[in-house]
Amino acid sequence: MSEASPEASPEPPKPIEALKLAAIIGALGVVYGDIGTSPLYALQACLGYVSKGGLKPEDVLGLLSLIFWALIITVTLKYVTFVMRADNDGEGGILALMALAQRVARTDKIRYTLMIVGIVGAGLFLGDGVITPAISVLSAVEGLSVASPDFSRFVLPISVAIIIGLFLAQRSGTGAVGKLFGPIMVLWFLVIAGFGLYHIVLNPRVLIALIPGQGIRFIYRHDLLAFLALGAVVLAVTGAEALYADMSHFGRRPIRATWRFFVLPALVLNYFGQGALVIANPQTADNPFYLLMPHEILIPMVVLATIATVIASQAVISGAFTLGSQCVQLGLLPRMEIRHTSKTEEGQVYVPQMNAALMIGVLILVLGFRSSNALASAYGIAVTGTFLCTNVLSALVFHRHFNWPLWKTSLVWGAFFLVDLAFFGANILKIFEGGWVPLAIGFSIVLLMTTWRRGRSLLFARWQQDSLPLASFLGRLPQSRIVRVPGIAVFLTGNPEYTPASLLHNLKHNKVLHETVFFVTVRNLDVPTAMGDDRMKCEELAPGIYRVRIGYGFMDTPNLPRSLEMMRDQGLPFNPMQTSYFLGRETIVAATVPKLGFIRRAVFLFMLRNAISATEFFQIPSDRVVELGVRVAI
Tens digits of residue pLDDT in 147-165:
777 778 888 899 899 999 8
Tell me: the pLDDT tens digits for 229-239?
898 899 899 88
What's the pTM value of the predicted model, to 2 decimals? Answer: 0.79
Confidence at residue 288, expressed as pLDDT on a 0 to 100 scale: 92
Residue 512 main-chain phi, psi, to 5 deg = -140, 160
Q: Are 269 and 281 in contact (CB under 8 A)?
A: no
DSSP conformation class of 179: H
List alpha helices for 334-405, DSSP H. 352-369, 372-376, 381-396
Nearest CA-CA partner of 585 in 614, 628, 553, 550: 628
Provide the sign of the torsion angle of the four alpha carbons 343, 348, 354, 355, taken in this order.
Answer: negative
Most confidently modeled of 17-31, 182-196, 246-260, 361-375?
Answer: 182-196
Q: Are 488 and 514 in contact (CB under 8 A)?
A: yes
Tell me: the pLDDT tens digits for 343-382?
555 556 788 888 888 899 899 988 888 887 777 777 778 8
Tell me: the pLDDT tens digits for 242-288?
788 777 666 778 888 889 999 999 999 999 999 999 999 988 888 89
Neighbours of 102 (CB within 10 A): 19
Cα separation, 35 vs 240, in Å, equals 7
